[in-house]
Amino acid sequence: MNLTNFRFETDADGIALATWDMPGRSMNVISMEVMDELEKIVDAVVADPAIKGCVIASGKDNFSAGADLTMLQSLGGTFERMKRESGEEAAMQALFGGSRRLSLVFRKLETCGKPFAAAVTGLCLGGAFELALACHHRVVSDDEKTRVGLPEIKVGLFPGGGGTQRVARLMQTGDALQMLFKGEQIRPAMAKGMGLVHDVAPKAEIVERAKAWIKGGGSAVAPWDVPKFKAPSGKVYSPAGMMIWPPANAIYRRETHDNYPAAKAILASVYEGLQLPMDLALRVESRYFANILRTTEAAAMIRTLFISMGELNKGARRPKDVPQTAIRKVGVVGAGFMGAGVAYVTANAGMEVVLVDQSAEAAEKGKAYAHTLVTNQINRGRAKTADRDALLARIATSADYADLKDCDLVIEAVFEDPKVKAEVIARVEAVIREDAIFASNTSTLPITGLAKASARPEQFVGIHFFSPVEKMMLVEIIKGGATGDRAIATALDYVRAIRKTPIVVNDSRGFFANRCVTAYLLEGHKMLLEGVPPAMIENVARMAGMPVGPLSLNDEVALDLGLKIARAAEAQLGPEAVDQRQKKLLTDLVEGHGRLGRKNRKGFYDYPEGAPKRLWPGLSEFQPERLDPDSLDVTELKHRFLVVQALEAARTVGEGVVTDPREADVGSILGFGFAPFTGGALSYIDFMGAKRFVEIARGLEARHGARFAVPQNLLDMAERGGRFYDTPAQAA
């Protein structure tokens, strides 16, 4: 048997072992070739009377992360081409056949008449876990890095290789839906408790355990192929079923606002599939899957959250001629909330950290934050006491700048004041090595201006973390006017080491993310002052796809910080640089009512101890006119939230702040949660079409003012029918 991606051998007991080990790849992925070879293996096992069964294992550290999404993406392109050449019906038949290939191969394995077992270690996700689910027995390693799951929903897809049907027949329906909707990676012990796997064993034993199951007479019939099989939750149309499906539909609407077709397809596939025999149920799943592959949401999310993010994580924007940087020791100046978070993620990545503050006590307080974070993980069973001890041992605290002398990289995270930062820069540069890189974790202050206090501006770079550092996956690397390639490369190497996603932007006040976030917050404030009910502002923002409403977000980042930023901008750029009504609103809230946000339990919301937050009733005094919610156009409100952010993103492109649309899209989703189903702020424009977007923006400008004015670069794009992703590489 001629195989490239698998090794196939049979032992003395007549048990075959198919070892998945794709050449030239660090990770196995499901491709058309892999599907073909897997089918050959099934045929070979069935045809040889001497073979009792087969174990499928991996020759790599991970089993597989699933299907090659570029393959699925290409199916959509093939559909569009065939639609033009042969008509929609022929194109749809071809898409259905191509998208269903994996499901048919897995079903062939499942019904071949000989037992198959999966021996899983490392990651086993998506289509790879669907392969394991199609096997009759599943043994997973108890290794700390082993995870199983079906995360397709996170890139706008859903499990189309039988996952929705097999999971729904292994678990209670409500639990199955929750698993499919969340797309989380599941640890071995939990997977066994959920009934998804049969055995958990040491890594060195999983293949032998799987073989032993076959040797012991393991059944080659899946539970759902046994006559009179009953799903765990019983029939859909039953008293028990009616306790599941109406609430499930309501939860789906509440959580997605109908923005995610794949989530709706999951609900429909499970609902319909549980009423059918397995083969018909798989056909239903495949029809929904083919339809989802045609959606703009899937195309946008695959492009941004899989392809573009993967390219950025691999260093797509790293200067090519700079050697890889070995960062062993990092200094963090400022042990407040941000600095403490930076120290934690750095130490967690295995680097030594020197955490410096004005006093030893303040530095120790910052280190205690790391202790708290790891302790919480220990309490949840995700870390051990030894892990905490090792991490804390990597964080040294000090009040002496001289202790930074051996650092490869120093990151300052002090107060957002140019004078304070200038003092820190001078003190740090007086003691660090000549080749050390200095980074400022500033959220709004231009790096070029801060670098004027540096004696070596070419080694000065911005590294903007988002709060809370340990949770937020995006980091902005800001290139100042004099920042050199080595500083950029070092910053990117560091961000990659701490396992976060970097974007590189050129210098500007607010850079990229905060400019867009500021526009979002301003729109919420504008609506409040217009008389839109506060609850409607928050709910419509979530309906538009934002993770939280603008008033809630403002509370999280602190109202007094927003006021300080507005005043600083006004002092440096003049009164035209800020919205005066917004500044007055913040001034009244902060100074008139002492409402600082979540940090003092009083902002746009009240935060009562032990109870859910609730909108502050006093907001009514800021609304001289209160609009009737029934008179408001919800679609227009949603457009206001998304369009104002997309316009700001387009301006950053026109100004040269953002030079790669991948970074704007990935940054907008990871940095401030811009409606993920759109693919990001620029993809929102591209998939809608620049001409249509300009029409909407001009209508909003006529009704709501100049903040909706369309920048010239976008007008030109609409005129020529262009897109931000105009090059083949970017459009892929």
Q: Enumerate domains of the chain plus CATH numbers.
A: 6-294 (3.90.226.10), 329-509 (3.40.50.720), 514-656+660-720 (1.10.1040.50)
Rounded distance between C-alpha atoms, residue 502 and residue 593, angstroms: 39
Q: What is the mean pLDDT of residues 256-261?
A: 96
Rounded distance between C-alpha atoms, residue 390 and residue 392, angstroms: 6
Read off the pLDDT of residues 665-685 as tens digits, 9 standing for 90 and up: 999 999 999 999 999 999 999
Per-residue pLDDT at 194 exceeds 70: yes
Provide φ and ψ at 605, rounded to 5°: -110, 160
Read off the pLDDT of residues 11-45 as tens digits, 9 standing for 90 and up: 999 999 999 999 999 999 999 999 999 999 999 99
Rounded distance between C-alpha atoms, residue 731 and residue 725, angstroms: 5
- 709 contacts 716 by C-beta, under 8 angstroms: no
Q: Tell me the pLDDT band of 727, cut-offs 50, 70 and 90.
A: low
Residue 108: CB atoms within 10 Å: 15
Whose CA is closest to 306, among 162, 160, 156? 156
Rounded distance between C-alpha atoms, residue 136 and residue 129, angstroms: 13
Buried (b) or exposed (e) across 594-625, using 16+ Cβ within 10 A? Answer: ebbbbbeebbbbbbeeeeeeebbeebeebeee
Read off the pLDDT of residues 350-367 as tens digits, 9 standing for 90 and up: 999 999 999 999 999 999
Residue 320: CB atoms within 10 Å: 7
Read off the pLDDT of residues 409-422 as tens digits, 9 standing for 90 and up: 999 999 888 999 99
Residue 307: CB atoms within 10 Å: 17
Q: With helix as H, strand as E and coil as C, how does 613-638 read?
A: CEECHHHHHHCCCCCCHHHCCHHHHH
Rounded distance between C-alpha atoms, residue 649 and residue 642, angstroms: 11
Read off the pLDDT of residues 123-144 as tens digits, 9 standing for 90 and up: 999 999 999 999 999 999 999 8
Read off the pLDDT of residues 435-487 as tens digits, 9 standing for 90 and up: 999 999 988 889 999 999 999 999 999 999 998 999 999 999 999 999 999 99
Whose CA is closest to 643, among 708, 595, 688, 699? 708
639 is catalytic: no
How many residues can be counted in the chain? 732
Question: What's the DSSP call for residue 666?
Answer: H
The catalytic position among 136, 198, 464, 639 is 464
Rounded distance between C-alpha atoms, residue 68 and residue 34, angstroms: 10
User: pTM, whole model, 2 decimals?
Assistant: 0.93
Contacts of 124 by beta carbon, 8 Å cutoff, 6+ apart: 62, 63, 64, 118, 132, 140, 146, 147, 148
Rounded distance between C-alpha atoms, residue 161 and residue 98, angstroms: 12
